[in-house]
Amino acid sequence: MLELQRTINKPVTMSGIGLHTGTECTMTFKPAPENYGIRFVRVDLGGSPEIPATADNVVDVSRGTTLGVGEAKVHTVEHVLAAIVGLQIDNIIIELNGIEPPVGDGSSLQYVEALKSAEFVQQSEPKDYLIIDEAVIYHDEKKQIDIVALPLDNYRVSVMVDYQNPALGSQHTGLFDLDKEFVSEFAPARTFCFLSEVEELADQGLIKGGDIDNAVVIVDRKPTPSELEKIRSKLGIEEKLSVGENGILNNKELRFRNEPVRHKLLDLLGDLALIGAPLKAQILAARPGHRANVEFAKQIRKLYQQKKLVKKYQFVKKEGVVFDINAIQRILPHRYPFLMVDKIIVLELDKRVVGVKSVTINEPFFQGHFPGQPIMPGVLIIEAMAQTSGILILNSLPDFNKKLVYFMQINNAKFRRPVMPGDQLFLEIQLVSKKTKIFLMKGKAIVNDKVVAEADFMAGVVDRDAPIES
């Protein structure tokens, strides 16, 4: 795998209609600087808004993946993204003067050819690989979808589909080497659908640019001549439709015996580009689809953001520790005698954090609370939970070091057992909800597996240099 980032050498342009919207669009790939990532730019809209290709910006997964920021959207991005990651391009600008990229023949091949003609440029910054070091699992019981990422010092993807439909049956495929296999074995695989779906998709307005030249239509039931004519009319297809001997509408030849599952792998590659970083992992997927792919990409992206965050503050990797006291002091503004958390041992971004406070007789508050019978003040246990929660919302604020987190409400506070010198407090915080600068959290403090205190609290975020109103 490549070790340095890559972009293209010169702009390259293509035009055509979109698969689902049927609208005309001109798309231009342009070089981008290091660490820029992949971004779509709607040049036909005021201000030319940018839409970073990340899972955070997915707004729809109806038969394709749609990205959006505000009113700006780009439909069916997965085939373009598959070409970009398949060619191991890290930084690129994709300008469009419409809402959907040209569909071409329904595969990624036209994008690959265009990008190759633009030539590749090796940049000086190293690739920011996300290295999967433990299994990440997505499971949808209802749809029987499973996607798993396993540790591997490379990037491999295996896909199995089984639609329980005799017209297609079970198929599987695997990509083991991007350099050797992507362009020839997977980029040409075209999108497909079943004949029984075509009329419903047309009625939903989802394939306005679809025809038998940019999609493989698998015949899963025997249609009448009048039904075929109705479909031809709805899709605006000029040539007469017929049921092919090979089970494909109009007897169109498959490019590969298992072209449908190869296209599913292509879709998965494109959707996983939304993680925002190249992967080193083995991906195993059973019956994937855009909705599941995007949910899995979001799951992996959280892991990527967390690893970046940890690397930013925790300079020395320690077993069983996410942030040590040195990292905590880089994050929180609190100092002696009011820093109430010693280390963070669990962090799930935007979900959960666990901090640890070792309570010793050297705590200054024990001198007066209480002489002869030292007990940690309940309000300081709450403060310890609050400081721990500051770590949890760290990723929600891009300029966290310029912010302060203030209490707004404390509800349902209960103190169940005294905390004394020698105790080790485990501070567990869960994020209940968040808005732009308001966070609702639920916390509990535990000693020896027993809850000693708990509370619900609301926190607000303000600029560190903002004046305090009386």
Residues marked as catalytic: 290, 369
Best CA proximity match to 213, nearest among 235, 196, 197:
235
Please report the DSSP string for 225-280 in residue order: HHHHHHHHHHHT--SPP-B-TTSBBTTPPPSSTTHHHHHHHHHHHHHHGGGSS-EE
Best CA proximity match to 260, nearest among 235, 284, 287, 282:
287
Question: Tokens at residue 338, please?
Answer: 């009011």
Best CA proximity match to 283, nearest among 82, 179, 139, 147:
147
List phi, psi (to 5°) of 307. Answer: -65, -40
Question: Tokens at residue 226, please?
Answer: 């009048």
Q: In the chain, what are the helix, strand and coil shares in percent, each to the nearest 5?
A: 25, 35, 40
The angle subtended at Cα 264 by Cα 22 and Cα 200, nearest 5°, is: 45
What separation in angstroms does the CA of 245 have from each of 163, 212, 242? 21, 16, 9
Q: Distance (Å, rounded) from C-alpha 37 to C-alpha 53?
A: 8
Q: Looking at the DSSP assignment, which residues form a beta bridge with residue 249?
A: 243
Q: Distance (Å, rounded) from C-alpha 65 to C-alpha 79?
A: 10
Best CA proximity match to 53, nearest among 33, 31, 76:
76
Q: Distance (Å, rounded) from C-alpha 251 to C-alpha 139?
A: 36
Q: Distance (Å, rounded) from C-alpha 247 to C-alpha 253?
A: 10
Residue with tokens 């996607």: 147
Query: Regarding beta strands 66-69 and 72-74, do their DSSP bridges make them parallel or antiparallel, or are they unpaired?
Result: antiparallel
